A and B are shown apart, each in its own frame.
Chain A
Amino acid sequence: MKLIFEKHKDGRRGFSYGLVDVGGAKPLPEKYRRGAALPLPCLSELDVVRHYTNLSRLNFSVDTNFYPLGSCTMKYNPKFCERVAGFEGFSQLHPLLPQLSGGGMLAQGSLEVLYETEKLLCEITAMSAFTMQPLAGAHGELTGVMLIAAYHKDKGARRKYVIVPDSSHGTNPSSAAIAGYEVKVIPTGPDGYMDLVEYKKQLNDEVAAVMLTCPDTLGIFNPRIREIADMAHKVGALLYYDGANLNAMLGKCRPGDIGFDVVHLNLHKTFATAHGGGGPGAGPVGVSQKLVEFLPISRVIRCGDGTYALDYNYRKSIGYIAPFYGNFGVILKAYAYMLCLGREGLIKAAEIAVLNANYCQAKLKSYYDLAFDKTCMHECVFSAMRQAKNGVHALDIAKYLIDKGFHPPTIYFPLIVKEALMIEPTETESKETIDAFIETMIEIARLAEDNPSLVKQAPVNMPIKRLDEVRAARKLDLCWKPQN
């Protein structure tokens, strides 16, 4: 499809502000003004609307396709949540209003949403308090590690290391490094669990935190998680819970009950807010009692008279993580979702998510090698090594699935599984949809034996064939320029 810039025509207008009703002001002096004319495109409103509408049709999305992208929890995003977030009372509220003197009363509705969401998340995770500020999961991780650093600093210790298992999300080591820590990586043992011997060896009083995902990125719940937690606490390290996989845990197990000190959640995963093509997300962070005093400011409190207010009075707070109170529009959708599902609905979401994943695992395990043959939680991880022997790699399987109308699973992650295929069906997908996906996966396994080239050619039904990613990185073209 042509780029919007290639549809430009001099003199066309897509929007006009009309005549300004005031005027006659002295123009801004030349030295402050843009020299060159703005090179933006000129189009009609229909040109723009048709352009982006047609672009939208080139995407797979949850509303159009099964999207079992492991670790991303691509469940259905209820429509009413979008509508609620669009209510003018929410969408048009300036974030500085409650910071004006006497302005708290101007934002009572939004402050209540923040306060009540925090309360629900505390109960779901068994944590003492949450900050709603972090703007995405990785942002929550960074916030969490900074809280841990503040805690240790307050105790007079400058600890050096953060421990992560080799199966962790890339954001874990990266967040720890950006917060100023050195990262120690613990390998996964042959049983699929973190190697406890190696873990014991690395644990000492220089370790600030242990970051774990539970269930882990292999989709497995480690039954010895309590022991791992206790060992960390024994050397004074704190325990960090990466909540990317919380969907399997709703009402089944709470990080706070295990002994985790810091938890980040991905509202755009577990709590059904739309992923928006990569964002916005929201990554609230919950903490145990000993970390509450370090949480970012402001915090929303409920006053004696039942009104809500912003509180900045936390001497040990790490400061501002976001300009305001988090991605409010996203938090609001998650709140609406939680109110709607309620206790039973949340528990059922976890149960059916786990049922769907185990069903996929059971139906596919004679065709693909399981990374570890255990009951899985919300996702199952296969290896395409058997198919790779015939030249059909995880990437080829992904492309063939695209041809058949399925968004592929996450591939090549976790990094410790060769040719990984990480499948997370989520609870909102029906048996029929999953069966159709399984059938296609079985078809691919057969083709890998009988006619591998057919898989390797895929996709053939899409508007484009496979793209040259090496060329994209070598001959960088990141910004359109007029040709002449």
Chain B
Amino acid sequence: MSFIPHTQEDIKQMLKAIGAGSIDELFKDIPVALRPKSFNIPAGKSEFEVTQILRRLSLENATGLVNFVGAGFYDHFIPAAVDAIAARSEFYTAYTPYQPECSQGWLQAIYEYQTIICQLTGLDVSNASLYDGGTALFEAMMMAVRHTGRNKIILDSGVNLIYRTMLYTYTSNLSIEFVEIPVVHGQSSRRDLFKHLDDKTAAVILQNPNFFGAVDDYSDVVGQVHKFGALAIASVYPVSLGMLKAPGEMGFDIATGEGQSLGIPLSFGGPYLGFMAAKSELVRQMPGRIVGATVDSEGKRGFVLTLQTREQHIRREKATSNICSNEALCALRAAVFVSLLGREGLRELAEHNYQKAEFAKEQLSGLSGVEVKRSSPTFNEFTILLPRNADEVVQRMIDKGFACGFPLGRFYKGMDNYLLVAVTEKRTKEEIRRFVDSLEAVL
């Protein structure tokens, strides 16, 4: 099946209009020596056959496990209305809204998304989306480097290791100096952080809640960072913002994060949604598309892509970023998700996550040999110390039907017995009880 509408007669007429004898003639500029040495692609299949093949493959994935794995990517419920709107093909088969008059739906939706991101983060401006939380953090870091003209980055080791690894990868050819700050008792070590903070520092990068699930109030850190003329960057988990102090309230200059938790399926790692919000004075350093409101020739409100002189298609090698495609459809999902929930719904969602995680903590702390780390408060994810290697426990729990958490030994040396456990609103009291019972049985 090829989805091509042309009849033989169409092709004949079109070739005649072109003045070509055959379709092959149209490819005459490709020298014979450069024709494919092979093109061993299997013959085409019907829609039914392909659907069957992929149905079978989908069933080879284990999705029946009760999930307590988070580590920055969470198993949240997605209301049906989010899927219904994202399935409108007037949205998903359009392209970047370069032509505003025939793209007002997209442009307004993105303007609303930008507003929602500003409302959640407590900051002034947002862009139209970036690829994911990790690339958004890299872009934020580069904004700080350009803004300050400095190249030292203080990076808290409570920032997701996946993101830290991405930052190191992206800067391997650039002259950026990183200093990593240890996490002590679950929270960023102020002592180490302040020791390294100086007038060469471009930015301090923190995460809230941090990778271990610990919640912090970084207002004190941000105050110090600003004294040295550096920028403070927070990577945040948007669902937690229904409860936690917003980055803007703590004084952060830029907030980024992974928006997957806002109505986007886990989908084995993507497509996800990198969001970014900043103080208004940084807007010209922002990467990516930005939508602005304006008026038409009759004074009627409308929306356009704006500040395009920052972007690669105009500024080329001097652009603030090379980003072109973004994650617009995921941004739309986030906008619909948050609009549906509203202020009450998002507060409720955060509350459910917090309550359920606290319940799980309480239940787990009753298990002998299990220590729930309580040095700092947490939101919906927390660290437990097991009496044996967490990898083994994870394996045994899979057999019992649970993805029971993320073993920290994979990312942190000397933490082989630690497990990071996430509890979202989807986990019922009964599931949590069974989880605790099963854990007891395998220990």
Contacts and interface: CB of A to CB of B under 8 A. Distances in A.
Nearest to B55: A87
Contacts of A280: 131, 270-271, 325, 327-330
18 contacts: A3-B115, A14-B341, A17-B349, A17-B425, A34-B244, A55-B108, A64-B90, A75-B3, A92-B265, A100-B407, A135-B135, A136-B326, A175-B322, A253-B35, A296-B169, A321-B166, A464-B302, A479-B114
A467 B91 contact: no
Interface stretch (A142-150, A198-206, A285-293, A447-455): A142-150
Contacts of A49: 81, 84-85
Interface in B417-439: 425, 428-429, 432
B26 A41 contact: no
Contacts of B166: 319-323
A12 B340 CA distance: 10
B375 interface: no
Contact of B29 (A97, A345, A375, A427): A375
Contact of A109 (B42, B57, B71, B308): B57
Contacts of A120: 41
A278 B127 CA distance: 13
A141 B312 CA distance: 13
B79 A341 contact: no
B87 to A, nearest CB: 7
A323 B133 contact: yes
Contact of B168 (A106, A173, A319, A375): A319
A179 to B, nearest CB: 6
B432 A22 contact: yes
Nearest to B100: A467
Interface string A36-75: 1111111101001101111111111111110101001011
Contacts of B47: 78, 80, 340
Interface in B238-290: 241-246, 249, 258, 265-272, 280, 283, 289-290
A142 B6 contact: no
A276 interface: yes
Given A5-B112, A428-B4, 20 more contacts: A17-B349, A33-B245, A34-B242, A40-B116, A91-B267, A94-B266, A101-B394, A135-B132, A226-B31, A276-B92, A279-B271, A325-B270, A344-B43, A358-B20, A407-B102, A413-B313, A431-B14, A466-B296, A467-B100, A479-B125
A22 B356 CA distance: 6
B167 to A, nearest CB: 9
Interface residues of A, number: 209
A328 interface: yes
Contacts of A25: 354-355, 358-359, 362
Give 7 closest A-B pairs by Cβ, nearest first: A324-B269, A342-B44, A89-B58, A276-B329, A319-B169, A25-B358, A280-B271
Contacts of A169: 313, 324
Interface string B187-216: 000000000000000000000000000011
Interface string B293-325: 111111010111011110111111111011111
Contact of B102 (A268, A328, A462): A462
Nearest to B10: A431
Most buried by A among B115, B119, B271, B403: B271
B134 A53 contact: no
Contacts of B290: 478
A237 interface: no
Contacts of A302: none
B351 to A, nearest CB: 7
B26 to A, nearest CB: 5
A59 B104 contact: yes
Contacts of A275: 92-96, 325
A339 interface: yes
B85 A42 contact: no
B322 A178 contact: yes
A458 B186 CA distance: 61
B245 A345 contact: no
Given A94-B403, A342-B45, A465-B300, A471 B61 contact: no
B391 A278 contact: no
Nearest to B344: A13
B51 A469 contact: no
B101 A462 contact: yes
Contacts of A330: 270-271
Given A57-B105, A123-B39, A141-B322, A469 B44 contact: no
Contact of A107 (B61, B97, B298, B407): B61
A112 B57 contact: yes
A467 B129 CA distance: 23
Contact of B87 (A69, A82, A398): A82
Contacts of A69: 95, 98
A126 interface: yes
B6 A352 contact: yes
A108 to B, nearest CB: 4
Given A328-B270, A465-B297, A340 B50 contact: yes
Contacts of B122: 36
Given A173-B316, A251-B36, A472-B292, A278 B267 contact: no
B269 A343 contact: no
A220 B29 contact: yes
B244 A32 contact: yes
B291 interface: yes
A73 B71 CA distance: 37
A106 B61 contact: yes
Contacts of A54: 105
Tier of interface size on chain B = 35 or more
B169 A321 contact: yes
A375 B26 contact: yes
Interface stretch (B227-235, B331-339, B365-373): B331-339
Contacts of B184: none
A283 B338 CA distance: 29
A29 interface: yes
Interface in A247-283: 251-254, 257-258, 266, 268, 272, 274-281, 283
Contacts of B324: 136-138, 169-171
A314 interface: no
A402 B37 CA distance: 44
B325 A137 contact: yes
A186 interface: no
B67 A101 contact: no
Contacts of B222: none
Contacts of A28: 215, 243-244, 354, 377, 379
Contacts of A479: 111, 114-115, 118, 124-126
B410 interface: yes
A86 B316 CA distance: 37
B5 A326 contact: no
Nearest to A347: B39
Interface string A113-139: 100000010011010000000011111
Contact of A278 (B35, B272, B289): B289
A431 B6 contact: yes
Contact of B398 (A16, A102, A142, A268): A102
Contact of B103 (A59, A176, A319): A59
A335 to B, nearest CB: 8
Contacts of B441: none
Interface in A401-452: 402, 407-408, 410, 413, 427-431
A359 B318 contact: no
Given A22-B359, A90-B268, A109-B59, A77 B93 contact: yes
B294 A477 contact: yes
A180 interface: yes
A9 B321 CA distance: 39
A94 B108 contact: no
A123 B85 contact: no
Contacts of B344: 13, 42
A178 B176 CA distance: 13
A430 B5 contact: yes
A155 interface: no
Most buried by B among A1, A136, A361: A136
